[in-house]
Amino acid sequence: MDVWTDPTHTRPVFAAMMAGQFLLSGEGDVYSEDEIRDMLATTGWVMSARQPLAAPQSLVVAERR
């Protein structure tokens, strides 16, 4: 579960603001759905669903290949 960005990392605005905070603190980052799919694939997982939760968060469901 997290706040995911669009591919440009500018929307939703809340996620872009979080990225700025992470930059200032030196820890963490925000990711797009495409980046999450790539990370999962690299580690042998496949994203099977993305379930919206209370805005702006959503849950990514993944299965081991």
Per-residue pLDDT tens for 39-61?
999 999 999 999 999 878 899 99
Predicted confidence at residue 55, as pLDDT, reads 77
Instruction: For the chain, give the DSSP string.
Output: -B-EE-TTS--SHHHHHHHHHHHHHTS---EEHHHHHHHHHHTTEEEEEEEE-STT-EEEEEEE-
Whether the model clears a pTM of 0.85, i.e. scores above it, the answer is no
Taking only the tens place, the pLDDT of each residue in 17-27 is 998 999 999 88
